[in-house]
A and B are shown apart, each in its own frame.
Chain A
Amino acid sequence: GAVVSQHPSRVICKSGTSVKIECRSLDFQATTMFWYRQFPKQSLMLMATSNEGSKATYEQGVEKDKFLINHASLTLSTLTVTSAHPEDSSFYICSASNGVDSGEQYFGPGTRLTVT
């Protein structure tokens, strides 16, 4: 399967600071990238969908000014959690799709964010 990397894998930050997470598709061009959040013992929750070169589409309840998404190229998308708070602590996972079938997604290894 395709390879997607995510960096960093783990980050601890203080409340009020911003954190940037990078998602890269290493061996294919990802026309669409997805950002998910998963709280313990819960299902993956889609936060936003981003297509290269256009604004991300956010799911209901996800603040676009707090979770900034940039999809500048076909291989890179970034998620910036601005002014992080303890309730933002979660497992953030990106995935990439070549656009042919959005259900076939390749996931990054995830970033575990802890806000103290």
Chain B
Amino acid sequence: RKEVEQDPGPFNVPEGATVAFNCTYSNSASQSFFWYRQDCRKEPKLLMSVYSSGNEDGRFTAQLNRASQYISLLIRDSKLSDSATYLCVVAPVRQKVTFGIGTKLQVIP
């Protein structure tokens, strides 16, 4: 089983739709979780951290389910500018950070 697994997509959604991605991880000792956004041929940018209690930032909500070992990202009212690849990052304490392959989102007018 891969350390971090994501559905590569693409997810094609109409503008205004709500879309959710999941990311599963295999190391139960993982402590820190993040979502990054990567635009085509650009560097990843930190989108948000994922806390045990969940985290909301505007239209974006991230949640952690330790029992099932997955994190999720929910995007409400999708905008064209949300089109990107969303990378899940898992960081066990004092171990290397692992990036998922990313989920590609395409928001269609």
Inter-chain residue pair count (beta carbon < 8 A): 50
Q: What does DSSP make chain B's interface, helix, strand, loop or mixed?
A: strand
Q: List 17 A-B contacts (CB under 8 A).
A: A1-B46, A42-B101, A43-B99, A43-B101, A43-B102, A49-B96, A59-B96, A101-B32, A102-B32, A102-B97, A103-B33, A103-B91, A105-B97, A107-B43, A107-B44, A107-B45, A108-B43
For A108, the chain B residues whose CB sits under 8 A away are 43
Docked-complex contact B91 and A102, CB < 8 angstroms? yes
**Pick the contact of A93 from B43, B96, B97 — CB < 8 Å?**
B43
Most chain B CB neighbours (cut-off 10 Å) among A34, A42, A59, A104: A104
Q: Within 8 Å of chain B (Cβ to Cβ): is A19?
A: no
Q: Shortest beta-carbon distance, B60 to chain A, in Å?
A: 15
Interface residues of B in 59-92 (CB under 8 A from A): 87, 89-91
Q: How large is the interface on B (under 10, 10 to 19, 20 to 34, 35 or more residues)?
A: 20 to 34
Residues of B within 8 A of A (CB): 32-34, 41-46, 49, 87, 89-91, 96-97, 99-102
Task: Give the top 8 A-B pairs by smallest Cβ distance, nearest first.
Answer: A103-B91, A107-B43, A103-B32, A43-B101, A44-B99, A110-B43, A103-B34, A109-B43
Docked-complex contact B42 and A43, CB < 8 angstroms? no
Cα-based distance from A103 to B102 in the complex (angstroms): 16
